[in-house]
Amino acid sequence: MLRDGGRVFRRGRDRDAGRRHGSRLALLRKGSRAADRDRSAMNVIGHMTCAEHLGAEVALGAMLPDLLSIYDRTIRPRRLLNRSVEEETGGDRSEALREGVRFHFLVDTHFHRSDLFRECSEIVRDRLRLASSTPGLKRFAVGHVLTELFFDHLLIVDNPERLAGFYDALHGHRAFALQALLAGHEGIDQAGFSAFLTRLARVRFADDYLEHAGLLLRMDRILVRLRQRRLETGEREAALAGLSGHALRAQEQLHAFVGAMQAWATHEAMASVSEATVDSGGRAGLK
């Protein structure tokens, strides 16, 4: 269920939450290429959850496209699917990261076509239209982004250990072949991105997903980046009421979607193993 039952936050509490949120983002901006890098993630926890049973490297790879977009919105994460010469030093671990990146885009494709996404985003859009007719807001964009933020909220509330898993992945990224994966891809400052991941963990970036106020503050920041007006008080309350009323169905749908994605990935992995060839030394090698 929604944390705090979808209640309306008091102004004082919203101001306190805003200060905490702002201090986190100020720290994230430190050392970044530009202020654009504090772009808020949307469903990074969802991608991690869909891949969490595939190993730490794959799970981190599944989050990489969103993390890179937060770091620098000019980066095109799909380019990570193109193998570079430098990656030969990364071996299997580099390939595991790339498999996670591939899985990210597959999950996105299915997610944005699903009833799970469609129903929730329509509820947000409809509530916003009824709450206000003030121009300057793309309600479709709010429905899209707030739905993704909300689903990450549900996943964390359902299993708070996912927060620890997220931070563990960020803290442990240097142990993976991330440098090899990023090598040769223009526009990615490897040292800067590594420092950025460390800062995300240090300021506990994803803690904002625990509170409704954190979700809405992040939504407002994204709207500013999209050159849209911020949500009015009535719109904020209406959106939260709609999400609260839809929470139980969304949880059921989300659980089913994550299970389907995990089952698909497991099936693909088993299919690859079944195609393994055995060399003369009796060792199995995957095609």
Q: What is the pLDDT of residues 84-94, one digit of tens each?
A: 544 455 556 67
The pTM of the full predicted model, rounded to 2 decimals, is: 0.78
Q: Are 231 and 142 in contact, with CB atoms under 8 Å apart? A: yes
Q: What is the pLDDT of residues 215-245, one digit of tens each?
A: 999 999 889 988 999 999 999 999 999 999 9
Spatial CA neighbour of 76 closest among 86, 64, 94: 64
- pLDDT class for 17, splitting at 50, 70, 90? very low
The long-range contacts involving 231-236, CB below 8 angstroms and separated by at least 24 positions, are 231/128, 231/137, 231/142, 232/131, 232/132, 232/134, 234/131, 234/132, 235/127, 235/128, 235/131, 235/132, 235/137
Residues with Cβ within 8 Å of residue 171, at least 6 apart in sequence: 198, 201
Q: What is the pLDDT of residues 95-151, one digit of tens each?
A: 888 999 999 999 999 999 999 999 999 999 999 999 999 999 999 999 999 999 999
- pLDDT class for 34, splitting at 50, 70, 90? very low
